[in-house]
Structure 1
Amino acid sequence: MVKGVGSVSRQAGFLFNIVKYRALFLMLVVPAAVLIFNNYIPMFGLVVAFKNYNYIGGILGSPWEGIDNFKFLFQTEDAWVATRNTVLYNPLFIVLNTVCAILLAIALNELRSRKLAKVFQSSLLFPYFLSFVAVSYLAYAFLGGYGFINKSILEPLGLPAVSWYTKPGYWTVILPLVNLWKNVGYGMVVYLAAIVGIDQEYYEAAVIDGASKWKQIWKITIPLIVPVIIVLVILQIGRIFNADFGLFYQVPLNTGVLTPTTSVIDTFVYRSLLISGNVGMSAAASFYQSVVGFVLVLLTNFIVRRTSPENALF
């Protein structure tokens, strides 16, 4: 009898909370629906990775292929080159973007003129909203045969023009710089928001103790934004096997000679799908990327939890 009364009271309390916070629950309906329909329901399509997909049979009617799609994914040398580039580029992007974003956020926070800080912040954030199609045209304006670098820098110095789009080696530097230019503003805004949220009493106490500006940054600012840094880095590590398709496909203009240094898993799958139309192999690559990313997130969070439990993501 007591258990029944307790169950009824819990249900009544649950219904009371729904009525009381109905506005919040209504606000949650749309994002929850987007999450379910955009992220969870499409997961049913993962079965395509294990099928010899054809358009007549569809997802359910296509014959099972087992793990043959995964074998095909790594049969060619191009697949290994794409995997190597993906694994090498993304850690470089994470380190470079994180360090530069933190430095820019600290620099903007130290500017005395708030108007000037807003101008710099808007200027650095603007590239983030550009599509990679626009970025590819900007890159070509700099790197093309009659581009800015050749005509305005190398030629006046008496140096020979460089055919940037036929030299794969240069793109190991060009791509990280383009990625940095486009994305550093977003990370900077996140870290700047974290820095602005630090209690100013810490800095006032440090000034009274005679701490220099460098000491304040090193002993107060950076330690207090470490939790934000760890969360963002963990999330980025989860996508270490996913490359920005636009960066590696649009910016090099899909130039075949640059493939050794610009091919990543995403572009490899796209090209393979265009050539062979193998939907199953494309699904296998996507499944492979997701599983590896999930494992990396768990592993990274486990390491963080063992070393600094309060900064772990979960």
Structure 2
Amino acid sequence: MSDSMVPRKPPSKGFAKKKKNIILLSMLAPGAIWLILLRYLPMFGIVIAFQKFTIYTKNPTLLNNIIHSDWVGFKNFGFLFTTSDSWKMIRNTVGYNALWIVLGTVIAVSFAIMLSLLTKKFVAKAYQTLMFFPYFLSWVVASYFLMAFLDPTYGLINHLQKQWGIEATQWYFVSKPWPILLTVAYLWKNIGYSTVLYLAAITGIDTSQYEAASIDGANKKQQIRYITIPHLKTMIIILFIMSVGRIVNSDFGLFYQVPQNNGPLFPATQVLDTYVYRAFMATNNPGMSTAASLLQNVVGFFCVITANSIVRRIDEESSLF
């Protein structure tokens, strides 16, 4: 009997399973390598937060600089709380983030529901594109958009104020209106991204539920209340928990570029990130900035754990982990 006529054994299930795992792991490899190289290896630099970082002149590599720097313990953490503006920048950081978490969630969910109710697909796609477009703009570009309205000489609002006989407002020298301006700028740029996430969740809801509710006599408001919002609850909670983890972090570009780094606006625009940057530029001490970043991440981590624990006690299925 020839070799070609000998029946071949089918591959074992174990081999097929291993082959499938190898394929899946190869697909995972690029992301895992990126995570290790750019997220985990740089964590070695955390030690700078506990050192008085100096440049080692003989062989100035990062490793030699860290080895030959003196240890100062928790001294670098103190500069965040010794300044007279500590309360203001902490209040601004937490206050803005708390306000934006609430407003961002309410507005994004509302917009997503309204877009889902549009019957003409072309109109819905056009609105989605227009809302999502600002998310791709840098804060440098957005700051010039805002300046076109607020510039004391050529700004549109000041021009209208002069025409109406009203004294022109020096927007970049008065801090009082800037909490509102920063809130509007943040929502304008980021609300489209959140809206698309919620809209994707709404499109995944089984349409038969709406049809059954309509047959039972439920109107649109009742369908939104008893079908749409309950299905969005899990996503809202997960995004809320993730947002709470960044409550002591701030968007540096928003608070630095949009107010044009003007000193008179610091009472309303000074946050932890901008303060650390300005302190680093003045002192050239990487240890202080590293300590501030480490503290922010540690606080954010505990905020996520706390928020998730509270959610898990109320509704275990909606918790993040």
Same fold (TM over 0.5): yes
2:288 paired with 1:264? no
Q: Following TM superposition, by how much is the alpha carbon of 1:13 offset from its aligned partner in structure 2, in angstroms?
A: 8.2
Matched residue, 1:163: 170
Q: Give the conservation status (yes or no) of the 8 Å contact 1:50–1:68.
A: yes
Alignment of 1:68-217 (within 5 A): 68-145=75-152, 146-152=154-160, 154-217=161-224
Q: Following TM superposition, by how much is the alpha carbon of 1:160 offset from its aligned partner in structure 2, in angstroms?
A: 2.1
Matched residue, 1:234: 241
Q: Give the conservation status (yes or no) of the 8 Å contact 1:143–1:150.
A: yes
Q: Following TM superposition, by how much is the alpha carbon of 1:22 offset from its aligned partner in structure 2, in angstroms?
A: 2.8
> Structure 2: any 5+ residue segments left out of the alignment?
1-11, 57-63
Matched residue, 1:66: 73
Matched residue, 1:248: 255
Matched residue, 2:19: 19
Q: Following TM superposition, by how much is the alpha carbon of 1:201 offset from its aligned partner in structure 2, in angstroms?
A: 1.0
Q: Give the fraction of aligned pairs with identical amino acids, expressed as a percent.
A: 49
Matched residue, 2:61: none
CA distance 1:225–1:162, shift in 2 (3 Å): same
CA displacement, residues 59-102 of structure 1 (integer Å, 9 cap, x when unaligned): 22211001111112211012332111101110111111111110
Matched residue, 1:5: none
Classify the secondary structure of the residue corresponding to 2:52.
coil
Q: Give the conservation status (yes or no) of the 8 Å contact 1:101–1:188.
A: yes
Query: TM-score, normalized by length of structure 1?
Result: 0.93
Q: Give the conservation status (yes or no) of the 8 Å contact 1:46–1:283.
A: yes
Pick from 220, 232, 245: which aligns with 1:225?
A: 232
CA distance 1:234–1:13, shift in 2 (3 Å): farther
Q: Give the conservation status (yes or no) of the 8 Å contact 1:248–1:263.
A: yes
Q: Following TM superposition, by how much is the alpha carbon of 1:16 offset from its aligned partner in structure 2, in angstroms?
A: 5.4
Classify the secondary structure of the residue corresponding to 1:77.
coil
**C-alpha separation between the residues in 1 aligned to 2:169 and 2:230?**
44
> Structure 1: any 5+ residue segments left out of the alignment?
1-11
Classify the secondary structure of the residue corresponding to 1:155.
helix
2:34 paired with 1:34? yes
Matched residue, 1:50: 50
Q: Give the conservation status (yes or no) of the 8 Å contact 1:73–1:284.
A: no
CA displacement, residues 126-147 of structure 1 (integer Å, 9 cap, x when unaligned): 0000001100110101111121
CA displacement, residues 110-134 of structure 1 (integer Å, 9 cap, x when unaligned): 0111100000000000000000110
Which has the greater radius of gyration? 2
Q: Following TM superposition, by how much is the alpha carbon of 1:58 offset from its aligned partner in structure 2, in angstroms?
A: 1.2
Letter in 1 for 2:240: V
Q: Give the conservation status (yes or no) of the 8 Å contact 1:50–1:284.
A: yes
Q: Following TM superposition, by how much is the alpha carbon of 1:187 offset from its aligned partner in structure 2, in angstroms?
A: 0.1
**C-alpha separation between the residues in 1 aligned to 2:164 and 2:283?**
48
Letter in 2 for 1:35: L
Q: Give the conservation status (yes or no) of the 8 Å contact 1:18–1:25.
A: no
**C-alpha separation between the residues in 2 aligned to 1:13 and 1:280?**
55
Q: Give the conservation status (yes or no) of the 8 Å contact 1:79–1:268.
A: no
In angstroms, what is the RMSD of aligned CA positions?
Answer: 1.5
Classify the secondary structure of the residue corresponding to 1:101.
helix
Query: TM-score, normalized by length of structure 2?
Result: 0.91
